[in-house]
Amino acid sequence: MAEKAIMAGFGGQGVMAIGKLLAYAGMLEGKEVSWLPSYGPEMRGGTANCAVIVSDTLIGSPIITDDATAAIVMNLPSLDKFESDIVKNGKLLINKSLIEKEATRDDINAYYIPANEIASELGNAKAANMVMLGAYLELTKIVKPESIIKAFTKVFGEEKAKFIPLNEEALKKGAEVVK
Amino acid sequence: MAKVLMKGNEAVGAAAIKAGCKYFFGYPITPQNEIPEYMSRELPKIGGVFLQAESEIAAINMVYGASGAGARVMTSSSSPGIALKQEGISYIAGAELPCVIVNMMRGGPGLGGIQPSQADYFQATRGGGNGDYRHIVYAPSSIQETVDIMMESFDVAEMYRIPVMVLGDGMIGQMMEAVEFHEPKKRELQEKTWATDGTKGKRKPNIINSLFLDPQECENHNIRLEEKHKIISEKEVRYEAEGIEDADVVCVAYGTTSRIVKNAIVECKKEGIKVGIIRPITLWPFPMEIFDKINKNAKGVLTVEMSMGQMIDDVKIAVNGRFPVHFVGRSGGMVPTPANVIDSIKNIAGGVK
Amino acid sequence: MTVVYKKSEGLTDLQLHYCPGCTHGIIHKLVAEVMVELGVLGDAIGVAPVGCSVLAYNYLNCDMHEAAHGRAPAVATGVKRVRPENVVFTYQGDGDLASIGTAEVVHAAHRGEKITTIFVNNAIYGMTGGQMAPTTLIGQKATTAPYGRDEAHCGKPLKISEMIATIDGAKFVERVSVHNPANIRKAKKAIKKAFECQLKGEGFALVEVLSTCPTNWGKTPIDALKWLEENMIPYYPLKNFRNFGEVK
* pLDDT at site C1: 80
Q: Does B176 touch chain A (CB under 8 A)?
A: yes
* Domain tally, chain A: 1
Q: B211 and B273: one domain?
A: no
**Does B201 sit within 8 Å of C86, measured CB to CB?**
no
* Contacting residues for A117 by C-beta, under 8 A, at least 6 apart: A97
Q: Which of B175, B178, B337 sits opposite A36 (nearest CB)?
A: B175
Q: Of B4, B5, B259, which has the smallest distance from its Cβ to A60's Cβ?
A: B259
Number of domains in chain B: 2
Same domain, B49 and B125: yes
CATH no. for residue C68? 3.40.50.970
Q: What is the pLDDT at residue A44?
A: 54
> Is the same domain home to B14 and B160?
yes
Mutate to test the interface with A, among B33, B142, B144, B176 (most CBs of A within 10 A): B176
Q: Which pLDDT does position C62 carry in this prediction? A: 98
**Which of A35, A38, C161, C54 lies closest to B211 in space, CA to CA?**
C54
Per-chain mean pLDDT for chain A: 94
Q: Residues B252, B313: one domain?
A: yes
Answer yes or no: do B226 and B289 share one domain.
no
pLDDT at A111 > cutoff 90: yes
A35: chain B residues, CB-CB within 8 Å: 5, 175-177
Q: CA–CA separation, A18 vs A54, rounded Å? A: 13
Residue A147's CATH number: 3.40.920.10
Per-residue pLDDT of chain B (353 residues; tens, 9 = 90+): 689 999 999 999 999 999 999 999 999 999 999 999 999 999 999 999 999 999 999 999 999 999 999 999 999 999 999 999 999 999 999 999 999 999 999 999 999 999 999 999 999 999 889 999 999 999 999 999 999 999 999 999 999 999 999 999 999 999 999 999 998 888 999 999 999 999 999 999 999 999 999 999 999 999 999 999 999 999 999 999 999 999 999 999 999 999 999 999 999 999 999 999 999 999 999 999 999 999 999 999 999 999 999 999 999 999 999 999 999 999 999 999 999 999 999 999 985 54
What's the complex ipTM?
0.93
Instruction: Give the C-alpha separation, B299 to B296, whole Å.
Output: 9
Is the separation of the CB atoms in C184 and C30 below 8 Å? yes
Query: C64 and B23: CB-CB below 8 Å?
Result: no
Residue C4 lies in a domain: no
Q: Considering the domain boundaries, does residue C193 fall inside one? A: yes
Among the ranges given (A65-74, A142-151, B181-190), the one the predictor scored with the smallest mean pLDDT = B181-190
- pLDDT value of residue A46: 67
Q: Do the chains contact at B58 and C71, CB–CB below 8 Å?
A: yes
C148 — pLDDT class (breaks 50, 70, 90): very high
Q: Which residue of C has its CA nearest to B91?
A: C68
More confident residue, B40 or A12: B40
Instruction: List, in order, residues 6 or more apart from C240 with CB less than 8 Å away.
Output: C173, C174, C190
Query: What pLDDT does A39 receive?
Result: 84
CB pairs under 8 A between A and B: 61
| Whether residue B215 sits in one domain with residue B78 | yes
Q: For residue C159, tell me if it sits in a domain.
A: yes
- Measured CA to CA, the distance from residue C119 to residue C91 in angstroms comes to 6
Average pLDDT over residues C87-114: 98
Q: Which residues of A touch B338 (CB under 8 A)?
A: 60-61, 65
The answer to whether residues B260 and B111 belong to one domain is no
- Physical contact, B and C (3 or more Cβ pairs within 8 A): yes
SS (H, E, C) chain C: CCCCCCCCCCECCCCCCCCCCCCHHHHHHHHHHHHHHCCCHHHEEEEECCCHHHHHHHHECCEEEECCCCCHHHHHHHHHHHCCCCEEEEEEEHHHHHHHCHHHHHHHHHCCCCCEEEEEECCCECCCCCECCCCCCECCCECCECCCECHHHHCCCCCHHHHHCCCCCEEEEEEEECCCHHHHHHHHHHHHHHHHHHHCCCCEEEEEEECCCHHHHCCCHHHHHHHHHHHHHHHCCCCEEECCCCCC
Give phi and psi for B59, each to the nearest 5.
-60, -50
Q: Do B88 and C71 touch (CB under 8 A)?
A: yes
Per the DSSP assignment, residues forming a β-bridge with A51 are: A6, A36
CB contact under 8 A, B174 and A37: yes
Q: So what's the pLDDT on residue A12?
A: 87
The model's confidence at residue C26, banded by pLDDT at 50, 70 and 90, is very high
Do residue B190 and residue B266 come from a single domain? no
Domains in chain C: how many in total? Answer: 1
Residue-number span of the structural domain to which B296 is assigned: 241-349
Q: Answer yes or no: do B228 and B248 share one domain.
A: no
Q: How far apart are CA C170 and CA C176, in angstroms?
A: 17
Q: Indicate which CATH number applies to the domain containing B54.
A: 3.40.50.970
pLDDT, mean of residues A28-35? 97
- For chain B, what percent of residues have pLDDT higher than 70? 99
Chain A residues in contact with B266 (beta carbon < 8 A): 60
Least Cα distance to C177 among C218, C235, C128 occurs for C235
What range defines the domain where residue C28 resides?
24-242
Neighbours of chain C (3+ CB pairs under 8 A): B
Q: Across the interface, do C77 and B51 touch by the CB < 8 Å criterion?
A: yes
Establish if C229 belongs to a structural domain: yes
CB–CB contact B338 A37 (8 Å):
no
State residue C246's pLDDT score. Answer: 65
Which pLDDT score, from 0 to 100, does residue B2 have? 83
Within 8 A of A20 by CB-CB distance, chain B residues are 5, 176
C6 domain residue, yes or no? no
**Nearest-CB residue to B196 (from C41, C58, C63):** C63
Chains A and B touch (3+ CB pairs under 8 A): yes
Confidence of residue A47 (pLDDT cuts 50, 70, 90): confident
**Domain range for A126:** 2-178
Partner residues linked to A134 by β-bridges:
none
- Distance in angstroms (rounded) separating the CA atoms of residues C82 and B48: 9
Together in a domain, B157 and B275: no
Q: How far is B99 from chain C (nearest CA, A)?
A: 12
What pTM does this model have? 0.95
Same domain, B128 and B248: no
Q: If interface means Cβ-Cβ distance under 8 Å, which residues of chain C face chain B?
A: 12, 41-45, 47, 54-55, 57-58, 60-68, 71, 74-83, 86-87, 103-104, 106-107, 110-111
